[in-house]
């Protein structure tokens, strides 16, 4: 199921798939999860507190974040990908 989820068009399913792979560490799954560090999918986050970031929008790359977390839990020393970035107003 996890392998199907990581190749899904659904952003949320890809995150679930990566988290499921955590329990199945192997060279193949390490390579699969590493490939997800460049996933283009994101969700929009808005800070409702104007004093925090003036209500700007932030792109949050949840698939990348999940992949990075799993790889770190597996003990790999990898460079952290871009996980969030503010969009220009």
Per-residue confidence (pLDDT) for residue 44, from 0 to 100: 81
Per-residue confidence (pLDDT) for residue 57, from 0 to 100: 80
Tokens of 52: 């925090």
Per-residue confidence (pLDDT) for residue 49, from 0 to 100: 55
Q: Cα(first)–Cα(last) distance of the chain, in Å?
A: 40
Number of domains in the chain: 1
Rounded CA-CA distance 67/47 in Å is 24
Per-residue confidence (pLDDT) for residue 48, from 0 to 100: 56
- Supply the pTM of this predicted model: 0.85
pLDDT digits (tens, 9 = 90+) for 29-72: 999 999 999 999 999 875 555 555 556 688 999 999 999 999 99
Residue range(s) defining the domain that contains residue 18 = 2-86
All residues at 6 or more sequence positions from 11 whose CB lies less than 8 Å from its CB, including other chains: 41, 42, 43, 62, 63
* Cα angle 34-37-38, degrees, rounded to a multiple of 5: 120
User: What is the three-class DSSP state of 24?
Assistant: coil
Rounded CA-CA distance 25/61 in Å is 23
Per-residue confidence (pLDDT) for residue 58, from 0 to 100: 86
């Amino acid at each position: 199921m996890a392998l199907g989820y990581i190749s899904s068009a659904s952003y949320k399913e890809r995150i679930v798939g990566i988290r499921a792979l955590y329990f199945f560490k192997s060279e193949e799954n390490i390579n699969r999860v590493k490939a997800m560090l460049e996933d283009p999918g994101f969700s929009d986050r808005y800070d409702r507190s104007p004093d925090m970031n003036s209500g700007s929008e932030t792109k949050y790359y949840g698939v990348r974040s999940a992949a990075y977390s799993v790889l770190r839990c597996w003990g790999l020393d990898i460079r952290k990908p871009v996980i969030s970035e503010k969009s220009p107003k």
